[in-house]
Amino acid sequence: MALKDDLTPMPTERGQICLCAQFAFVRNLEGMPFPDRMSDAARRRRSKEVIKRLQACALNFLDLTDELEAFNTHLHVMLLTAPESRLPGYALLYLAKPEGVEAPLWCEVMGANHLAFSVIASARQLSPADYDRLAEQLQRFVDRLEPVLNFARTEQLGYLTRQLTLTGSGFRLRVWLHLAGLMHFDHLRELENAANFSELRIDTNNDTGTQTPPGALCILFNGRSLRYNAVEETRTLQRFLGSIIRQERNARERVLVEEPYVLLDIVSRLQATLRVALMITPDELSDCLSDFHLAWDLGVISPKHRPRSLPPMMTALTFDDNHLSEPICRDLLERAYLPEAVRSFPPWFKAAARATWMRNNLDFSLSRDFKRRAMR
Amino acid sequence: MKCEICHKNEAETVLFRDKPGKGREELYVCRACAEREEAFGQERGIQVAAMEFSPDELPPGVNPGLPPGGDDEGWSPPKPPPEALNELGKMFGQLSSLLSEAGGNPDEARCPKCGQALEEIRASGLMGCPKCYEVFREAIAPLLAELNDCTAFGGTFGVAKQASGRERLQALKAELAEAIKREDYATAKRLKAEFEALKRSLGGAEGAPGGNYGA
């Protein structure tokens, strides 16, 4: 079966910055250890039991577990539990039209917690008013399952989860943001501080702890779940998001007006990489896509010579080593001229596949007006 | 309890070794020793059978652990007689309470249901099972306060669970009486405040059915 990926950014102001959002409720069942404290056999058995109980609620979940390999490159699936973190017994269910919820619903069984219900909405679906509504709809959906599933909870602490950071409402709202402008002016640290002040967190998706996340991709999420309910948390995040989008927009305009030569340098380097790179790492690909999106958003790319559509910024995740499969690489490299050593060594042929994909999809030239202005 | 082979690590599992001509031998061992025995026991002419503790049967303070390799499909030994386990459970329970009376390290405390150690929770922020929240209630309160700036849930529940609220009220009452009995007035004060708060919240919900808990 095929599922539609609709996480492509829209050529709108908001869509270029706010890429997508994930609303998730985590729940555990009373009286059993969390998944990673179970033996593999017990986890598999419990997983089957839970799926049966969900089906008893007359929910027509589509079980994608047996086809997980095929769905690893699906953008929605990539935002869920990563393949290397899936334990035996992990199951992924999909509900195209959940009752009372406007968007398709994903249900992970025996991930980090017993159950995680997620709705992933693209930029296209997310007007400010939609946030509250989606959070509320999803909460109602999950609440309806409670009498059947008997979730673990206490009056004092709310819903009990494996992570102490989720205990309480068990709710997490994540928003993926492309913040190339703020990163260029080195404002991510300030942004992080401001988020902390608003009881929110920013994940710069960077293990080294520096303020340069690959591809300027950051994740904004609610850091606390004990004090408030899901809708209150969503409102706080939504307010803060509005201010991030304004600041990012200002920063981008500032690059274009005050430092056009810097932008010219960024885009020219991208063109050079596209021409000569044989192999590209996942982080480099993210950076290239980020530069391309920034240039597209600011009208630097010539309308006469540009790709037919804007490749989704999130595509960088598809080309992550965790998700890039051998058949996809072989397919991409079918007609590429490469040394045999590269073709026979997986880390290299994966890197070569990224470079080939980038060359095929990001071919463009610069707008003449912009070039003239930058060189003035 | 220390491993009976290496005498260094905590025992996580019990091994049943069938030595020809010498009958059956029980050993409480750590996971590393259990794996070694399983791998090389046969070569030495010793038949090794092993089992993991069922978490429900565990005495407090003993880590059940997971079977070697993390998959109990390859770890399916014969079951020991249940009466032997009961006896052992009683012995461990007595030993554990003696140790705690002697001032054992609270960081080494483990959840009797899943075996998660308090030290692991402090390091990772990850709990092992819902029971851990009850067992380590006092120890995790500062962690929750640091993460959330509060220690009590301020949100709403999907459906009312009044029965568990009343049970909690009864448990608090018993804990309060116990604290007063041993003259631990600081704990008693905290328990009383918690008791009053819970009583108020339950009373409100009874007055307005579904009011506080309706989603």
Show pLDDT as tens, one digit a residue, over chain A (376 residues).
556 655 655 555 556 788 889 999 999 998 889 998 998 999 999 999 989 888 877 677 888 888 887 787 787 888 888 888 899 999 999 998 888 888 889 999 999 999 999 998 876 667 778 888 889 999 999 988 887 788 999 988 999 999 998 999 999 999 999 999 999 998 988 898 899 888 899 987 655 555 678 889 999 999 888 888 888 889 899 889 989 999 999 999 999 999 999 999 999 999 999 999 999 999 899 999 999 999 988 989 998 888 887 888 888 888 888 788 888 888 888 888 888 888 888 888 899 999 999 988 888 999 988 988 888 7
> Looking at residue A221, what is its pLDDT?
93
> Looking at residue B213, what is its pLDDT?
27
Overall average pLDDT of the B168-184 stretch: 81
Query: How many angstroms away from the CA of B116 is the closest CA of chain A?
Result: 8
Q: Is A293 exposed, middle or buried (0-12, 13-18, 19+ CB in 10 A)?
A: buried
Overall average pLDDT of the B87-111 stretch: 55
Whether B126 sits inside 8 A of A164 (CB atoms) is yes
* Interface predicted TM-score (ipTM) over 0.95: no
Q: Are strands B23-29 and B47-51 parallel, antiparallel or unpaired?
A: unpaired
- Among A117, A132, A127, smallest CA distance to A54 is for A117
Residue of chain A with shortest Cα separation from B168: A155
pLDDT band at B19 (very low <50, low <70, confident <90, very high): low
3-state secondary structure of A172: strand
| Chain A CB contacts of B77 below 8 Å | none
Whether A40 sits inside 8 A of B130 (CB atoms) is no
Whether A142 sits inside 8 A of B71 (CB atoms) is no
Whether B155 sits inside 8 A of A229 (CB atoms) is yes
Query: How many angstroms away from the CA of A231 is the closest CA of chain B?
Result: 10
In this complex, which of A37, A42, A88 lies closest to B128 when CB atoms are compared? A37
In this complex, which of A157, A163, A223 lies closest to B133 when CB atoms are compared? A157
> Looking at residue A124, what is its pLDDT?
61
> Looking at residue A106, what is its pLDDT?
92
Whether A33 sits inside 8 A of B128 (CB atoms) is yes
Overall average pLDDT of the B159-179 stretch: 70
> Looking at residue B56, what is its pLDDT?
45
> Looking at residue B169, what is its pLDDT?
75
CA dihedral B115, B121, B122, B126 (to 10 degrees): 170
Strand order in the sheet with B23-29: B23-29, B13-19, B47-51
What's the token pair of residue A69? 């390999």
Residue of chain A with shortest Cα separation from B121: A164
- Strand locations in chain A (E): 18-27, 62-63, 91-95, 105-109, 115-122, 153-154, 158-159, 171-178, 200-203, 217-222
Whether A154 sits inside 8 A of B168 (CB atoms) is yes
The pLDDT > 90 percentage for chain B reads 4
Answer yes or no: is pLDDT of B65 > 90. no
In this complex, which of B116, B147, B153 lies closest to A37 when CB atoms are compared? B116
A51 contacts A109 by C-beta, under 8 angstroms: yes
B86 contacts B54 by C-beta, under 8 angstroms: no
B54 contacts B66 by C-beta, under 8 angstroms: no
> Looking at residue B165, what is its pLDDT?
61
Q: Is B175 exposed, middle or buried (0-12, 13-18, 19+ CB in 10 A)?
A: middle
Task: Write the single-letter amino acid at A131.
Answer: Y
> Looking at residue A317, what is its pLDDT?
81
| Chain B CB contacts of A157 below 8 Å | 133, 144, 152-153
* Mean pLDDT for chain B overall: 65
